[in-house]
Chain A
Amino acid sequence: MSEKVSQSDGDQPYLVIDNVRKQFPRRGEPPLTVIDGLNVAVEHGSLLSILGPSGCGKSTLLNMINGLDDVTSGRIVINNHVVSARSRSAVRIGVVFQEPRLLPWRTVRDNVRLPLDELNVSRDEADERVQRYLDLVGLGEFGDYFPLRLSGGMQQRVALARGLAIEPDLLLADEPFSALDEITARKLRREFTEIWRATGRTVLFVTHNIREAVFLSTRMLVVTARPCTTHMDIAIDVPYPRVPEDDRLFEIEKQVTKDFIQMEEAAAG
């Protein structure tokens, strides 16, 4: 099945992106390089955010991590499994998108259940898990509702429960709060860190929002525009629960913003 990496647990990194490159072949032209040497390694239970300008090959990276596409060179390791399009069943990945992407004709409970049915989780186990994760996101009472009756923020919480209910090795969050209004997004960010801490899962969070990345993550990877390379790799050592008004967070945000703008200008000039 999948290639096992020899090192066992302990404090070995849990998610490793090791010199990943991705090229797309083009007819009659040199191949298009989308990602050119991306590196990062985080421990189990980290919240790693990836911050980059739009068009930075983010969806390509997410596809490769999710086993929907292969790297051209380098490797991605999750929980000691090398990820590839062939070995994708070895690693379980939950996804939360920018929009909730719930099935409007299924109840909240059946939406969270949907991926569990695909994984052949037993009926009792699935019932119990669905309820547990709905409780966790504060929607325990709303299992029988249809998604369109819920507010945007609640729908996004259902999507989060769906991503967590499969008990993934890694949760991919693809700008999950960027389509919400700022007040709701702010509330959900705080809840998100609480839920993440309660589950102990490793999360990869993609965003364009510097403040969001700083507020949420234990580690932050700033990447350049195409071809995507590592620009900065910052650990954010501020204990949780955090408050958005924390001066330390604000300092980091200021620093990253300054650097980000310089990077953009360098790319443009």
Chain B
Amino acid sequence: MSTVESNRDVPLAGGPGTVPVVPVASETDLVPTPRRSWRGVWLRALSLVSLVAVWFIASLFFDESVLPGPIRVFGTLVSNLGDSETYFHLWTTVYRVVAGMLIAVVLGLVIGLVMGLSKFGEEFLDSWVLVAFTVPSVVYGILAILWFGLNDAAAIVAIGVTAVPAVAINMWQGVKAIDLSLVRMGQAFHFSRSAILRKLVVPQVIPYLLAALRYALGLSWKIATVVELIGLSSGVGYQLSYWFGLFNMTQVLAWTILFTIVLLLIEFVILKPTEYWLTRWRPSMQN
């Protein structure tokens, strides 16, 4: 019965210029993906222009002290840009946000990993993280000022504490979503433990870290301006409160818009390209 056919007479794959022994795949075998187009850019621009138009029309019906028109506000904005004070306040807020975020990312990462990797960690920490997530960030601001005084430390701590739960929750979910079949693939190919961690586990968590960062950033700006508004004498929040005190609506709007532009720049110059590059392998779900 057992005369197993030997295949040694068949030429082995090797040498240069391997000829495929199977039909070569073509472009038509690919899963189609939608093309990136300029349509999105145009639509965004259109939406922005229509908002300014609505603002302009509305401003015709109100007094300047209530709703100044866009031309006036942008004029003030541009003249503010000539003043070095403006950059000082902007930079102060950016510095506080970045420092607070750093705290949030480090702490949130550790807490999230502990919760994702150990059952004990999850049960010990999950209710606290959820409570910390629910407490209004203004409360952290008030407490930080009470405990640390009217200084940078208060702002940074308040920002950090506000953003920690958001980062932790994202990382917790990220670790739980790790595809174990890839880890088993690594084991089957006898990868080292460190290679499995570096090449198979960490890359799976990165999209979650990115989402956590973006969310934390959004929270951080808000709490930063609130803390500055409550008790500090520098930063964008201080400027807003100062001009509000003088009932200067034009300056309040000019500062709001300037700040928004800075946020959008960070989003579109740093976050979006980073995210696009890190997740370029993922076909878009939209069409």
A residues near B, CB below 8 A?
42-46, 66-68, 88-89, 93-95, 97, 99, 101, 103-107, 114-115, 118, 132-133, 135-142, 145-151, 153-154, 157, 166, 172, 191, 194-200, 218-219, 233-235, 237, 239-240
Contact = CB atoms under 8 A, between A and B. Distances in A.
B185 A137 contact: no
Given A95-B188, A118-B189, A197-B21, 18 more contacts: A43-B4, A43-B6, A45-B7, A46-B4, A88-B190, A105-B203, A115-B191, A118-B191, A132-B13, A132-B18, A142-B25, A147-B281, A148-B281, A150-B29, A151-B29, A154-B29, A200-B8, A218-B5
Contact of B187 (A68, A146, A149): A68
A216 to B, nearest CB: 13
A104 B3 CA distance: 43
B22 interface: yes
A41 to B, nearest CB: 9
Contact of A191 (B2, B22, B189): B22
A105 B279 CA distance: 7
Contacts of B181: 97, 99, 101
B12 A235 contact: no
B31 to A, nearest CB: 5
Contact of B21 (A103, A136, A233): A136
A139 B31 CA distance: 15
Interface string B1-35: 11111111011111000111111110001110100
B182 interface: yes
Candidate in B19, B188, B280 with the most chain A CB atoms within 10 angstroms: B188
A90 B165 CA distance: 48
A257 B158 CA distance: 71
A219 B2 contact: yes
A157 to B, nearest CB: 8
A145 B26 CA distance: 12
Nearest to B199: A114
Interface in B13-68: 13-14, 18-25, 29-31, 33
B119 interface: no
Given A46-B4, A137-B22, A197 B189 contact: no
B218 to A, nearest CB: 25
Interface string B102-114: 0000000000000
Contacts of B13: 132-133, 136, 198-200
A201 B161 CA distance: 59
A105 B25 contact: no
B136 interface: no
A157 B7 CA distance: 22
Interface residues of B, number: 45
Given A105-B281, A135-B20, A141 B25 contact: yes
B15 to A, nearest CB: 9
Interface in B73-116: none
Nearest to B12: A200
A45 B8 contact: yes
Given A45-B7, A141-B24, A194-B22, A101 B185 contact: yes
B33 to A, nearest CB: 6
A244 B19 CA distance: 24
28 contacts: A42-B4, A43-B6, A44-B8, A46-B4, A88-B190, A94-B189, A101-B182, A103-B199, A104-B281, A105-B203, A114-B199, A118-B191, A136-B21, A137-B20, A139-B24, A140-B20, A150-B31, A151-B30, A151-B31, A166-B189, A191-B22, A194-B22, A197-B21, A198-B21, A200-B12, A219-B4, A234-B1, A235-B4
B5 A149 contact: no
B200 interface: yes
Contact of A118 (B1, B2, B7, B192): B192
A138 B181 CA distance: 26
Given A118-B192, A148-B282, A200-B8, A195 B29 contact: no
Shortest 8 CB-CB contacts between residues of A and residues of B: A146-B281, A45-B7, A191-B22, A194-B21, A101-B185, A95-B188, A138-B24, A115-B189
B245 interface: no
A197 B185 contact: no
Nearest to A200: B12
B182 A44 contact: no
B20 A199 contact: no
A195 B6 contact: no
Contacts of A142: 25
Nearest to A239: B5
Nearest to B28: A151
Interface in B203-246: 203
B232 to A, nearest CB: 42
A194 B181 CA distance: 28
Contacts of B192: 118
Given A97-B185, A191-B22, A235-B1, A198 B10 contact: yes
A258 B283 CA distance: 46
B262 interface: no
